[in-house]
Structure 1
Amino acid sequence: MLISVLPVRGKRMMDTFLKFPIRLHRRDSNWVAPLTSDLRSFVSPERNPYLREAEAEHFIARDSRGRTVGRVTASIDPAHVQRFGRHGYFGWFETVDDQAVARALLDTAARWVGERGMTRLTGPHSYCSTQEFGMLVAGHGTRPAAFQPHNPQYYADLLTSAGLQIDFRMDTYSWHTDRNHGQLNRLVSRGEAMIARHGLRVRSLDPARWDQEIDLIHELMSASFNANHDMVPMSRKVLGFQTDQIKQFLDPRLTRFVELDGRAVGFSMLMADANEVLAATNGRAGPTFLLRYPFLKRRVHGAVVLMIGVRPEVDGLGIGRVLAGEIGRVGLGGIPPYRAVHTTWVHEHNWQSRAYMALSGARPARSYAIYGKALVS
């Protein structure tokens, strides 16, 4: 069939772009619809500072009868290009099971970034590697935690048939109080030993000093992620925007700072698993949901690891062990009502984090991949 790929212009087309997955995935009981109102903020250059730091375009695909059959974004992160080379991203990729649609969307994204001097297309990134990214390639039969993308199994075949190959893989992990008790206790004990050996102090985020605490997280994140081989640390404005969007799920007790001689040298940031609440919305926060929201939020039992960072100059003091122990404490039910912990993406080359996963007895729960292809000039 004839496929037209159009840039999104105006509120009506953007609503179509944002709501298309709700119709596409309505029969998948494991897919959790994000709130459309939150997505509107995320795609708005007036609200999302990242879209003032980078270039991005949104597209929808329509068939010959005018029906929306897919969507995609193309984006370029100047900071990433400066550090890693001329790579452009595709993201927000959703499509019916049709190779012609998938190819039309990906060709459009490739052409858009190529016209702006990029030599490689990678993704999916929405919109970059510090936001939600990755194609689910294993674990489709489980419900994702927050910030874990979910997509049909046929997506991977559509990408490879369109000429993209896997650049690297990532996994997510989960711990549960009743399944990993002994291993998590071991992580806690190892962390406590490091605290005693090096005179460390561990504290929670102080909500009364919210802005200063986010400043500190940004400082620690920038220092610890500075040598990352796939990621450019986000700006303070972008971090502030993203944490404000999820602030209602950022239980201060779940963010932990490790201090040495009064100076913060590491942190871990976890949030309550918003997907446990959002599963009841189907993308809309109607009156019934708003009445149920406080009750639903109190019943969230999972926590999601968002970020972990350690200053490189304190490598060797076991700060990572301390943070792993603090996360293990959450998994053991030490911070009610949480009884489970889910990670976001652990890169296949992140040997240190994978070693902690092995110690905790956790196995990969969901696997993701980033795909890429060279662009013909």
Structure 2
Amino acid sequence: MSRPDQHPVCQVTPVRTRADRAAFVDFPYTLHRQEPYWVPPLRSDQRRLLDRTAHPFHEFGEVEFLLARRGGRVVGRIAAVHNPRHDDFHGTRDGFFGLFDCVDELGVAEALFGAAEAWLGERGLEGMTGPVTFSTNYECGLLTEGFDLPPAVQMPYNPPYYPELLSGCGFTTAMELLAWELPSTVHEDPKVLRLARPDADRGIRVRPVDLRDFHAEAARIREIYHAAWERNQGFSPMTDREFDAIAHELKPFLAPGLGVIAEVAGEPVAVALAVPDVAPALAAANGGLHTWGIPLGLLRFLRARRALDRVRVLILGVRREHRHRGIELLLGIELSRAAQRLGYPVMEGSWMLADNHAATRAMRLTGARVTKRYRIYRREPCDAVSRSPAGI
């Protein structure tokens, strides 16, 4: 990590023009092009994040996109985020940041964080937590362990110097997140089967998500999701439009059996949802499905998709009043059966809060191991003048 006084001062300015937006989207592809495990997201998805008329978060939240330049060259980017739904739910006035990418220079990182902090402070927000892409309902966290492994789909990857930059800028740990890996043979483990007694013994019915009635199923999943995660640190309730948009994006990747719902007396009380880990296929597409109207990236994506060997468990949640009944294990068993049947030998559960001790016990019972660690940081408010480098 370079010292802040080893390089000329950079200038941080808000994204205002079409050229600024293009530069904001393009910067990570330039910065990380030599990183063997970084997976280029689709540029169309990245552009949508900046589109205030298209992405549903912008209907209620405020975001300022910022670029750091030196001599006309982009050296960093960040988004300052005001999420009023988070503040209303928790009774706070918290600021957030996301979409952080930066060269290995402490001075550039501090310039970006200083500009984001100033924007948040103008809105009466206190402190700054992140990285989160708008909220924890989207991609979030900074990779701190597991740099020699590729990320799962919709999980972050960053160079090893990023945690050093945040520590050098005065950030401390707010939340630690884990990625667990396990084989899709959990349903064959006698110990797990013994702990997860037959469903009928406890009046629990586990059924697959009905993909033919996906709209109604998505509404049921949304209710469980909000009820199961409401006490989690950093949770922010989604609007119906937000949840529906995410469900619409996931639907093409859903496979029969990789979504299951547990019911008690006909009431949905728990859900588990997994998708094929298409990160290697996205890497093959290299950020775009079409080039000048020709579907070259799409062809590479489809070719790589045939070789996928794992699934990512996106959601596994149980309503609070139905916990400690082994429902998590029942859901995991059904996902394991489906993953093996579909030809995926490996499952990744990500992310899970490191301090979720019940989930940790359940994962260890299945023989899972932690393969990657992520962190969400926080910087408490202080004298902005003492932090802001010159030139901003």
Report the TM-score, using the length of structure 1 for normalisation. Answer: 0.93
Correspondent of 1:95 among 98, 102, 106 = 102
1:175-211 Cα deviation digits (max 9, x unpaired): 234xxx4786247515751513113222222222111
Correspondent of 1:73 among 79, 97, 111 = 79
Correspondent of 1:322 among 316, 326, 330 = 330
State the 4+ residue runs in structure 1 displaced beyond 6 angstroms.
none
Local SS of the residue matching 1:72: strand
Separation in 1, partners of 2:325, 2:31: 49
Q: Which residue of 2 aligns with 1:230?
A: 234
Local SS of the residue matching 1:110: helix
Contact 2:271 2:316 in 1 (8 A): yes
Larger mean CA deviation between 160-169 and 40-49 belongs to 40-49
Separation in 2, partners of 1:143, 1:294: 19
Correspondence 1:352 to 2:358: yes
Local SS of the residue matching 1:366: strand
Show structure 2 runs of 5+ residues with no match.
Answer: 1-7, 384-392
Contact 1:183 1:361 in 2 (8 A): no
Local SS of the residue matching 2:197: helix
Correspondence 1:161 to 2:165: no
Contact 1:77 1:128 in 2 (8 A): yes
Correspondence 1:310 to 2:348: no
| Aligned-partner residue type, residue 258 of structure 1 | A
Q: Which residue of 1 aligns with 2:387?
A: none
Separation in 2, partners of 1:35, 1:16: 15
Aligned pair count reads: 371
* Distance 1:184-1:362 versus aligned 2 partners, 3 A rule: farther
Q: Which residue of 1 aligns with 2:199?
A: 195
Q: Which residue of 2 aligns with 1:255?
A: 259
Local SS of the residue matching 1:344: strand
Contact 2:75 2:102 in 1 (8 A): yes
Separation in 2, partners of 1:148, 1:184: 28
Local SS of the residue matching 1:2: coil
* Distance 1:166-1:312 versus aligned 2 partners, 3 A rule: closer
Correspondence 1:9 to 2:16: yes
Correspondent of 1:61 among 35, 59, 68 = 68
Q: Which residue of 2 aligns with 1:264?
A: 268
Separation in 1, partners of 2:373, 2:353: 10
Separation in 1, partners of 2:51, 2:225: 25
1:295-318 Cα deviation digits (max 9, x unpaired): 433332211111122122323432
Separation in 2, partners of 1:271, 1:15: 30
Q: Tell me the CA shift for residue 360 of structure 1.
A: 1.9
Matches for 1:23-62 after TM superposition, within 5 Å: 23-62=30-69
Report the TM-score, using the length of structure 2 for normalisation. Answer: 0.89
Q: Percent identity?
A: 32
Correspondence 1:246 to 2:225: no
Larger mean CA deviation between 127-136 and 283-292 belongs to 283-292
Show structure 1 runs of 5+ residues with no match.
Answer: none
Separation in 2, partners of 1:314, 1:168: 25
Separation in 2, partners of 1:104, 1:58: 14
Contact 1:271 1:304 in 2 (8 A): yes
* Distance 1:182-1:39 versus aligned 2 partners, 3 A rule: closer
Larger mean CA deviation between 318-327 and 166-175 belongs to 318-327
1:12-69 Cα deviation digits (max 9, x unpaired): 2112111211111111110000100122223322221112121111111101x20001
Local SS of the residue matching 1:317: coil
Separation in 2, partners of 1:365, 1:228: 22
1:78-114 Cα deviation digits (max 9, x unpaired): 1211233111101111001011110000111111111
Separation in 2, partners of 1:120, 1:214: 34
RMSD across aligned C-alpha pairs, in angstroms?
Answer: 1.9
Contact 2:257 2:335 in 1 (8 A): no
| Aligned-partner residue type, residue 284 of structure 1 | G
* Distance 1:97-1:183 versus aligned 2 partners, 3 A rule: farther
Separation in 2, partners of 1:186, 1:6: 59
Q: Which residue of 1 aligns with 2:349?
A: 343
Separation in 2, partners of 1:282, 1:266: 36
